[in-house]
């Protein structure tokens, strides 16, 4: 997992972006957070110049132990939230702020709140023909529910007009989303965790996230009214409040 020079001083804060994205999508927010945190920006495997070709958890675990500071607060968005949930305990995380994410992305095996796996398989097939159409349709989906979603996607498209990965990296991310199920580990996590999910997120169910949070010993879920899948462009005050709450626990 590729990382960048840190921003700011203070408690360590690790940020992991979502599928197809690079750390550039929340650079503005990271710079604002640098007034109170030491911000560590990481890239997903196969994204933004990272040489990995797959989301091999054993490899990621070894990389994190080497490069991620122990006792940090983790911020994970979408796929990055799933990775945070899976790997943050490897570095004895002090807290997690998970937005627009859940322990299982696709429906199946008793989980009805996710995305139809057929939709992801269609994206996989589309990537074999080229990434541009798949990317355009994905961003269109993110802005499809109204509320602040269109403004969120407009801001996202400005910062990430093309995907941060080629077909290989994007396929690896989709395989991870299709096959990863973290439900069995959630109840064992004692790390203070704040879940934030948009009321109008087309990919993640607020009710499902609230149910997951209620099964954890130190978690709380917040539904962001009117928000879509990219709340750090529309509801930053609520996200900052969640981070401030975690910071007070350090």
Q: What is the extent of the structural domain holding 46? A: 12-248
7 occurs within a structural domain: no
Would residue 96 count as lying in a domain?
Answer: yes
pLDDT at 62: 80
Over 80: is that where the pLDDT of 6 sits?
A: yes
Which of these is catalytic: 40, 47, 229, 235? 229
Does a structural domain hold residue 1?
no
Over residues 112-125, the pLDDT tens digits come to 999 999 999 999 99
Q: For 153-169, what is the mean pLDDT? A: 94
| pTM recorded for the entire structure | 0.95
Tell me which residue has tokens 């580990």.
Answer: 185
Q: Is 234 considered catalytic here?
A: no
Q: Active site residue: 47, 84, 201, 235, which one?
A: 201
Residue 54 confidence (pLDDT) above 80: no
The CATH number of residue 133's host domain is 3.40.50.1820
Strands (E), the chain: 12-16, 38-41, 73-77, 95-99, 193-198, 219-224
Q: Is 229 one of the catalytic residues?
A: yes
- Coil vs helix vs strand at 40: strand
CA-to-CA distance for 102 and 79, rounded, in angstroms?
Answer: 9
> So what's the pLDDT on residue 89?
82
Q: Is residue 3 part of a domain?
A: no
Is 71 within a domain? yes
Sheet of 12-16, strand order:
38-41, 12-16, 73-77, 95-99, 193-198, 219-224
Residue 2 placed within a domain: no
| In-domain check, residue 217 | yes
Q: Which of 12, 22, 50, 78 is catalytic?
A: 78
Domain count, the chain: 1
């Amino acid at each position: 997992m590729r990382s960048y020079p840190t921003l700011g001083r203070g408690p360590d804060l690790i940020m992991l972006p979502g599928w197809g994205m690079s750390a550039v999508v929340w650079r503005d927010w990271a710079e604002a957070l640098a007034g109170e945190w030491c911000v560590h920006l990481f890239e997903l495997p196969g994204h933004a110049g990272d040489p990995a070709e797959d989301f091999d958890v054993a490899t990621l675990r070894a990389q994190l132990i080497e490069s991620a500071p122990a006792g940090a607060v983790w911020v994970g968005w979408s796929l990055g939230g799933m990775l945070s949930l899976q790997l943050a305990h490897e570095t004895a995380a002090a807290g997690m702020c998970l937005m627009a994410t859940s322990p299982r992305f696709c429906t199946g095996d008793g989980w009805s709140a996710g995305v139809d796996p057929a939709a992801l398989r269609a994206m996989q097939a589309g990537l074999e023909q080229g990434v541009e159409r798949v990317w355009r349709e994905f961003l269109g989906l993110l802005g499809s529910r109204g509320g602040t979603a269109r403004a969120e996607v407009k801001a996202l498209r400005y910062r990430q007009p093309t995907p941060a990965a080629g077909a290989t990296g994007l396929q690896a991310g989709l395989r991870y989303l299709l096959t990863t199920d973290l439900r069995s580990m959630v109840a064992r996590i004692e790390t203070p965790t704040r879940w934030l999910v948009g009321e109008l997120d087309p990919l993640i169910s607020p009710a499902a996230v609230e149910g997951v949070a209620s099964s954890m010993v130190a978690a709380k879920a917040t539904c962001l009214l009117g928000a879509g899948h990219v709340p750090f462009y529309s509801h930053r005050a609520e996200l900052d409040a969640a981070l401030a709450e975690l910071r007070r626990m350090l």
